[in-house]
């Protein structure tokens, strides 16, 4: 394959990723408005906003009291740029700072004993309310 074809494929992939990011952000924003009201009345600060509902967007998005945890279900054709792009789009849609966005890779089934992989680790703890008890 020559460099012109590679460049063309790369541009198509970037365009597709931006469309996916936009679709995901819209879906999550709409769901967040509804769930935040519903769970807010019950003092619940943790809930799932998205779980692979659009076939081409293999992701899961969870809300943890102002923090977003965004995971990607891996596949062979995934690239490194995809997950950070989805994270940035969702964070912007919900007005969440980059500091409160946490990305992780998820694997379907067990592979080498690991199903989830941390991308980064911090020693920060977040207190979460779920009905009346608080969890750290």
Q: Which tens digits make up the pLDDT trace of 47-104?
A: 999 998 998 899 999 999 999 999 998 876 678 889 999 999 999 999 999 999 999 8
Q: Check if the beta carbon of residue 106 is closer than 8 Å to that of residue 72.
A: yes
Sorted by sequence, the CB contacts under 8 Å of residue 16 that are 6+ apart come out as: 56
CB atoms within 10 A of CB 40: 10
Query: Directed axis angle between helix 3-40 and helix 82-94, to 10°?
Result: 40
pLDDT at 127: 63
Q: Which of 1-15, 23-37, 51-65, 76-90 has the lowest mean pLDDT?
A: 1-15
Strand partners, 118: 104
All structural domains of the chain, each given as residue ranges with its CATH number in brackets, are: 3-135 (3.30.750.80)
pTM for the structure as a whole: 0.78
């Amino acid at each position: 394959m020559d460099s012109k074809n590679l460049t063309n494929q790369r541009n198509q992939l970037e365009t597709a990723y931006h469309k996916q990011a936009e679709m995901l952000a819209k879906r999550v924003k709409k769901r967040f408005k509804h769930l935040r009201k519903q769970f807010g009345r019950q003092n619940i600060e943790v809930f799932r906003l998205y779980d692979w509902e659009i076939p081409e967007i293999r992701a899961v998005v969870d809300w943890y009291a102002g923090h977003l945890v965004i995971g990607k279900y891996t596949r062979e054709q995934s690239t490194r740029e995809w997950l950070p792009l989805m994270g940035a789009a969702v964070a912007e849609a919900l007005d969440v700072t980059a500091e409160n966005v946490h990305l992780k890779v998820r694997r379907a089934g067990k592979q080498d004993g690991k199903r989830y992989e941390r991308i980064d680790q911090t020693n920060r703890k977040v207190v979460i309310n779920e009905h009346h008890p608080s969890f750290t």
